[in-house]
Amino acid sequence: MAGGWIKLRTDLQSDPAVIRLASLLKLDTFGVIGRLTTVWVWADTHADRHGHVTLVSRSCLDSIALCDGFGAALESVGWLKSSPEEGAGITFPRFDRHMGEGAKQRALAANRKQKQRSGESRSGHADVPKMSRSQRDTSVTREEKKREEKKKDKDTPLPPAEPGGGAVEPPTPDLKSETGPDPEAGSVAKFAELVGEWVAAKLPGHDSANGIQRTPNRVGHWQARLRDPTWAARWREAVRRAGRSPRCRGEDPKWSQGLRLDTFVSNPDVLVRVLEGEFDAAPVVETRGGKQTIDDVINDAFRNRNSGGTS
């Protein structure tokens, strides 16, 4: 088991897939979420890092959830994949988004960052990290060494004067070559690239009269995202895909806010969700009432169920 706990979204009850599961299984959403939690805990214990569990079929989930047809219903909403071959097993798509060690590490890191920001906003300054005695001793030793080096440099006489001239000044060391490139400067340059891609994709804020501002908060989030190899390699691809989505651009009446830059850089899960197509335009299907999106079909079914009609 990867850590003894799993991550759950706070908006799970209103997720269209949960509403659809409730309609298919004749349950309320609380009954669906409870069974989903039980199944996901089982998957977190037994699935590999790709979300695959061997030797079992989807009907196994019916026994785990104590609900006939639960596995088939999960597959119908895209939350499970199964194979008719004997012993081929089942797979939980997008497993690494919320389960597995990687997802948990991202969730813990985001929680720590949120607590740090909350502490800074209350005190007005960043918390000073506590140091152990050995760390303090090391710090003091380094300070003393720096003072000694400065004194040595001050006491060192200049080289002999050149013929007909003054004393020769010692060469000034090239600090950049000794310390390497400035990582903060690199991330600021990358942020400028991000703004350029964002404006080119015509995402929310691209036409702001004052332009997209480079605030310390945004750059701080951006630096944190770039430490993730997946983010560093694929953020341009995600921005360009978002630019092709009416939802992300704020052109969908149900998504009028669109995808904000602050949301993109502060939430580590957004990049994966964009690349998986979660924010792409909903597919359109033919119904008796004409053309509707999948989201509208699910919402109509939910309203019919609540009003006593057929779903």
Alpha-carbon gap, residue 252 to 254, rounded angstroms? 5
Taking residues 56-82, what's their average pLDDT? Answer: 92
H helix runs in the chain, sequence order: 16-25, 29-46, 59-65, 70-76, 95-98, 100-123, 133-155, 175-179, 183-200, 216-226, 229-243, 246-249, 261-266, 270-275, 294-307
Gap between the Cα atoms of 32 and 25, Å rounded: 8
Per-residue model confidence (pLDDT) at position 49: 84
Cα-to-chain-centroid distance, residue 272: 7
pLDDT tens digits, 137-155 = 555 566 666 776 766 655 5
pTM of the model: 0.38
Do the strands 81-82 and 284-287 form a parallel or antiparallel pair, or are they unpaired? unpaired
Q: Who contacts 225 (Cβ-Cβ below 8 Å, separation ≥6)?
A: 231, 232, 235, 265, 268, 271
pLDDT at 64 over 90: yes
Average pLDDT over residues 253-282: 84
Query: Which tokens in the block code for residue 50?
Result: 């790709």
Q: Which residue has the higher pLDDT, 278 or 296?
A: 278
Side-chain-facing half-sphere of 79: CA atoms under 13 Å: 19
CA angle 90, 91, 97 (to 5 degrees): 155
- How far from 92 is each of 84, 213, 257, 272, CA to CA, in Å? 16, 40, 31, 16
Q: Check if the beta carbon of residue 72 is closer than 8 Å to that of residue 20.
A: no
Mean residue pLDDT across the chain: 76
Domain boundaries, the chain: 12-101, 181-280
pLDDT at residue 2, as a whole number? 46
Q: What angle do CA 241, 243, 249 make, to 5 degrees?
A: 130
Mean pLDDT of 21-42: 93
Q: What is the pLDDT of residues 175-225, one digit of tens each?
A: 343 344 444 556 677 788 888 888 898 888 877 767 788 888 888 888 888
Average pLDDT over residues 270-276: 88
